[in-house]
Amino acid sequence: MADFIPLSVPNFGPREAELAGQAITSGWVSTSGARVAEFEQAIAAYLGMPRAVAANSGSSALHLAAMAAGIRPGDEVLVPTLTFIAAVNPLTRYVGAEPVFIGCDDTLCIDPDAVEDFCANRCTLRGGRLYNNRTGAHVAALEAVHVFGAMADIPRLSDIARRYGLVFIEDATEALGTRYTAGPLAGRCAGTMGDLGCYSFNGNKIVTTGAGGMLVSNHDDWAGHAKHLSTQAKADELQFVHDEVGYNYRMTNVQASLGLAQLARLEEFIAVKKARYDRYRAALDGVRGLRILPFDEENTRPNYWFFSLYLKNSGLDRDTVIRALQAQDIQTRPVWALVHEQADYPKNEAYALDKARDYRANIVNLPCSTNLSEADCDRVIRAVLAL
């Protein structure tokens, strides 16, 4: 029987084991070890940011971002519907705000045309603040998620946010290493161009600490406030005095040790991801109506986190494909269920949904681990071509 091919799993080596082992034998296994600060500094240096704030998950980092940005109960936040629900909950329900859902463009990221239309035609700008004409609520923020490592349209989205007085938050939880290579933003990394940016080190991410996250900000006081909130808002550590409601959101020393070793391999991981993506694309794109959705390789260097097989014109059904490959011990998955249809979110406004619905119905994500061998990649290709 052939070995199981997982969708996306960690790629740990001797250096990860060495650094994690050092943290364990030192006894500094919780949030107080020196490696947390080292990892924060290493991420900040990689991203070209003045500082970074470690957290215990990407969701925690987003919650810290919402609080640092001052998003309040009753505010509204423009968010994508084609994303994981953890991109929406921390910026809205965690802080008592309401989402307004926006569809995607062909990058799978939030559609700037739809964002512009909502702000210009469904809202009113008064005194530098945007108000929803239907609900009367203050529209406080805009979130862009860099889906599957593809860069959202930052120039347009940041311009919209500036003109309408919106806090601009980048969810780069899937996009560590994605950066612009052309234009005025050349060299800038996903997550570093908005007011706040957040990253995830979950087990399926390109760099993983098992669980973990990171926040960066172009407002030093916001980053400082986020760090304060992440450590239980201690105003006096010796006397256990707390000056606001804080959270136990810090990363552990063991996790940070894994992160330092993983970060040193990030460019190696991206090279492997690109090689496997190119292999899938050469073998499958355009065959019997199949497509491998492209990344923008002209203006950006994506991190190629997830690969999307698009089935719309192939005559194949998403769930049938997933089941058929699972029967051959090949793990795949659909893109997320649209967030505006989940939990209690159907009561919220949602706009420009056609492309999001189409991609939801027709995408299958193929195995993309950084330790996926060429032979296993070819096995996946043969299995798809045999459908």
What SS3 string covers 91-146? HCHHHCCEEEEECECCCCCECHHHHHHHHHHCEEEECCEEEECCCCCEEEEEEEEC
Closest of 331, 290, 325 to residue 311, by C-alpha: 290
Is the same domain home to 196 and 114? yes
Task: Give pTM, 2 decimals.
Answer: 0.96
In this structure, what CATH number is given to the domain that contains residue 344?
3.90.1150.10
pLDDT number for residue 202: 97
Same domain assignment for residues 156 and 197 = yes
Q: Are residues 81 and 133 in the same domain?
A: yes
Q: Which of 208, 230, 263 is the last residue of a domain?
A: 263
Residue 98 has pLDDT above 90, yes or no: yes
Inside any domain, residue 225: yes
pLDDT of residue 1: 55
Q: Are 136 and 236 found together in one domain?
A: yes
Of 218, 243, 263, the residue at which a domain comes to its end is 263
pLDDT in tens, 252-308: 999 999 999 999 999 999 999 999 999 999 999 999 999 999 999 999 999 999 999
Residues 271 and 149 occupy one common structural domain: no
Residues 308 and 210 in one domain: no
Ranges 20-24, 355-359, 375-379: which has the least confidence: 20-24
- Indicate whether 281 and 190 sit together in one domain: no
Q: How far apart are CA 46 and CA 36, in angstroms?
A: 15
Structure tokens, 175: 């996009």
Residue 348 lies in a domain: yes
Helix or strand or coil: residue 210?
Answer: strand
Same domain, 231 and 316: no
Residue 130 counted as domain residue? yes
- CA dihedral (115, 132, 158, 208) in degrees, to 10, reads -80
Q: How many CA atoms lie within 13 A of 43 on its CB side?
A: 34
**CATH number, domain with residue 151:** 3.40.640.10
* CB contact burial 153-184 (16+ within 10 A = b; e otherwise): bbeebbebbeebbbbbbbbbbbbbbbbbbeee
The pLDDT of residue 183 is above 80: yes
Provide the pLDDT for residue 366: 98
**Of the residues 239, 263, 287, the one at which a domain ends:** 263
Question: For 33-89, what is each residue's pLDDT tens digit?
Answer: 799 999 999 999 999 999 999 999 999 999 999 999 999 999 999 999 999 999 999
Query: Would you state the pLDDT for residue 77?
Result: 98
Q: Which domain holds residue 279?
A: 266-385
- Res 136: pLDDT: 98
29 pLDDT higher than 90: no
Q: Do 227 and 93 lie in a common domain?
A: yes
- pLDDT for res 31: 76
Total domains present in the chain? 2
What is the pLDDT at residue 164? 98
DSSP 248: B
Mean pLDDT across the chain: 96
DSSP 147: G
